[in-house]
Amino acid sequence: MDDTQSTTRDSEWEMSRFIHQILAALMCLLMGALPFGAARAEPNAITEIQAVREGALQQLKLSFRRAPATEASNFSTPSPPRLVLDFADTLNATGHARQVLDTGDLRHVDIVQVSGRTRLVLALKRPLPFASRVQGKTLILSFSDAATSAAGASGTIAIAAERNAILDIDFRRGSNESGRIIVDLSQSQAAIDIRRQGQSLVIDFMKTSLPDVLRRRLDVKDFGTPVQSISTSAQGDMVRLLIEPSGQWEHTAWQTDKRLVVEIRPWRPDDAKMSANGRGYRGDKLSLNFQNIEVRALLQVIADFTGLNVVASDSVSGQLTLRLKDVPWDQALDIVMQARGLDMRRNGNVLWIAPKDELLTKERLELEQKAQISELEPLVTETFQLNYQKADAFRQVFGLDGQVGRGSILSRRGSASAEPRTNKLFVTDTPSRLEEVRKLIQLTDVPTRQVMIEARIVEADDSFNRNLGAKLGFVDLRAINNNGPAGVNLSHSTRLAITGNYLGVGEQTQQARATDKSFIPNTQFVDLPANGIGTATAANVAISLYSAGASRFLNLELSALESEGKGKIISSPRVVTADQQAAVIEQGEEIPYQQATSSGATSVQFKKANLKLEVTPQITPDGQIILMVDVAKDSRGTPVGNSFAINTKHVKANVQVENGGTAVLGGIFTQDEQESRFKVPFFGDIPVIGHLFRKTSRSRVRSELLIFITPRVITDPTAMQ
């Protein structure tokens, strides 16, 4: 019975073990079929990095073991210009941590691998928009200044095809009294220039538009940060963000996707920067009361209080007696060093304290060693292609010819030569000096901005003239012919005639006819007719009274003329020139005149009578334009002998005008009024009747000259058309 039960238990145990083995095998099979196996697959890796340039398009090609993800997390910083790309589950198989590119605006790329994740930090010479695409096992990053359209099968992608735009501007208070300016963009690729200008921070967004609702000034004083105000304005195809902080401050800027964040925080001096006048101490307060304590022991006490590492030179010795209560520890340390003629240097959290002479001697020796090393450092020759400056002029202006006393940035062994045909500069010097030359070229070899200046000269004239006059005459036929002349017209007792030509009152009324075509002239005892103006003749009204026998005639003629004239002359010279370069445009004539020489002979000279615009513009950092302008408008005047007088209108000024604004350089207003009266004594003063015995003339001439000038910075070449 016992044997049977034992055999049965052994069989059950064997069956149970068999079933467990089968379940384990099935579990292994299932585990092999699950996606966990894919997670244990070999990660992707970057095998090669290559930089190429095709015209204005710059490309960075990243080769992988297998096709990479189409999107890689990235962010960029405008100052210094950096582009950071993160690749998850990716290794660095290039074999080095930094690769020098030196192609166009691409300088170098740093490759960092941490826990299966690889980060690429691409150093640029300036901020550039970029786009990415995957082609097989290669990820291609394309950089360009201008928008390029897709080229179909060629694979060229569109870079900044649409103009970028600012969507929103916000301000927030950060930690440690910092202020954050947050700018949301419509595109992640944006060319941004951030620079400190005096006490302000200027941010320029290139080729970016700004909605009207965001063209405003934000007052953020109440947030309790260094930022006082934020002003946003559009200048051509550029948007300028002007941040005005107060006090001492520092800033940091970074861009993530389509958002730019600029943080401005108060600047606090480092604890190691001591000042002898007791200002600037920010350490925790402590109290010291010692009698004849060793200086080295006192330094140990301060080190224990601050937690800093203090290294004292062997020459530090002596004793001190001091009593300090509630003073900052950095001020206490400064007092100790001043009392014993000591000085310190800080490296991280380590303070090295030694006598001043010892520190100065050590530093001088280090500088001498560096100078000796630079004398032994091998020389390197590098070629620089200048795009906008003349290579020879650049070499002379910046002292690259190595002449002593000219402020050359080259070392004593350095030299530079220029090749005018290709406009290249060849510099031979140590690598550190070549880097300084490279930075100098990047800052100065830039395109010069163009300015279009338009002047408008407006001349307006207004004239008015009025003349009134009278003539009185008398004819007595009895003294000529008692029978009266033949053909005397007696049909009308009074006849009125209006004519534009003066013939005499008697002749106009056809009285006292002598023959068919002649009349007897009357005796004019008042002869004050109105004068003609220019080619116009005064209008006449004549009347004649005669006796019943038609033997005596009294003739009266009234003449009047009134003229009014208005004129306007507009001259608009226009010229385009580079920043801080003079330009002249003129149009007119040269008038010849004779001039006597010392020998008595005459020679012909010429005098210009031109419309001239001479201007030198200067673009200021804030977008204003300073103009040194000389505008003249001369014309031919009245003849003087064998020559002519020249009428001159001239203004010369130095003004500052905003971009696209208009300024009035000057104006001249003249008014000439004249009134004259000619009369017969006594009779001309009689009321009413006196008008028959006098002539009046009145004239008024007004002229006005205005000169306007409008400068514009040219950002689009079509603006000059």
Residue 293: both structure tokens together: 């304590």
pLDDT band with cut points at 50, 70 and 90 for residue 645: confident
> Average pLDDT of 677-694?
83
Cα→Cα distances 592→226, 603, 641, Å: 69, 10, 12
How confident is the model at residue 153, as a pLDDT?
32
How confident is the model at residue 7, as a pLDDT?
46
Distance CA 72, CA 120 (A): 11
State the CB neighbour count (10 A cutoff) for residue 276: 8
pLDDT band with cut points at 50, 70 and 90 for residue 272: very low
What are the backbone angles phi and psi of residue 459, rounded to the nearest 5°? -120, 125
How confident is the model at residue 232, as a pLDDT?
92
Average pLDDT in the chain: 77
Residue 140: both structure tokens together: 């291609």
Q: Could you tell me the pTM of the whole model?
A: 0.46
pLDDT band with cut points at 50, 70 and 90 for residue 501: very low
Distance CA 453, CA 630 (A): 12
Which of 110-119, 147-156, 159-168, 304-313 holds the top average pLDDT? 304-313
How confident is the model at residue 288, as a pLDDT?
82
Distance CA 301, CA 287 (A): 11
For the stretch 376-422, pLDDT in tens is: 778 888 888 888 888 887 777 666 655 544 557 787 788 888 888 88
Distance CA 489, CA 478 (A): 16
The SS3 of residue 476 is strand
DSSP E strand boundaries for 342-419? 342-347, 350-355, 380-385, 415-419
Rounded to the nearest 10 degrees, the angle between the axes of helix 295-306 and helix 329-340 is 160
Check residue 532 and report its DSSP letter.
P
What are the backbone angles phi and psi of residue 279, rounded to the nearest 5°? -105, 150
**Does residue 277 surpass a pLDDT of 50?**
no
Lowest mean pLDDT among 77-81, 232-236, 258-262, 568-572: 77-81
State the CB neighbour count (10 A cutoff) for residue 502: 18
pLDDT band with cut points at 50, 70 and 90 for residue 485: very low
Pairing of strands 643-658, 57-64: unpaired
How confident is the model at residue 515, as a pLDDT?
60
Lowest mean pLDDT among 352-361, 390-399, 642-651, 690-699: 390-399
Lowest mean pLDDT among 215-219, 238-242, 396-400: 396-400
What are the backbone angles phi and psi of residue 690, rounded to the nearest 5°? -65, -20
Asked whether the beta carbons of 302 and 344 are under 8 A apart, the reply is no
How confident is the model at residue 534, as a pLDDT?
67
Q: Which helix (H) or strand (E) segment is 614 a member of? A: strand 602-619
Residue partners of 386: CB distance under 8 A and separation at least 6: 394, 423, 424, 425, 441, 445
Which spans in 398-537 are helix H? Answer: 431-444, 505-508
Residue 602 φ/ψ region, left for φ over 0, alpha for ψ in the -120 to 50 degree band, beta for the rest: beta
How confident is the model at residue 230, as a pLDDT?
93
**Does residue 532 surpass a pLDDT of 80?**
no
20 against 680, higher pLDDT: 680
State the CB neighbour count (10 A cutoff) for residue 17: 10
How confident is the model at residue 152, as a pLDDT?
35
What are the backbone angles phi and psi of residue 266, rounded to the nearest 5°? -65, 145
pLDDT band with cut points at 50, 70 and 90 for residue 228: very high
How confident is the model at residue 245, as a pLDDT?
92
Cα→Cα distances 627→218, 419, 610, 657, Å: 31, 35, 21, 8
Lowest mean pLDDT among 295-309, 545-559, 629-643, 654-668: 545-559
What are the backbone angles phi and psi of residue 157, rounded to the nearest 5°? -95, 165
For the stretch 620-631, pLDDT in tens is: 888 889 999 998
Strand partners, 717: none
**Does residue 8 surpass a pLDDT of 50?**
no
Of 257, 258, 283, the C-alpha closest to 269 is 283
> Average pLDDT of 514-536?
68
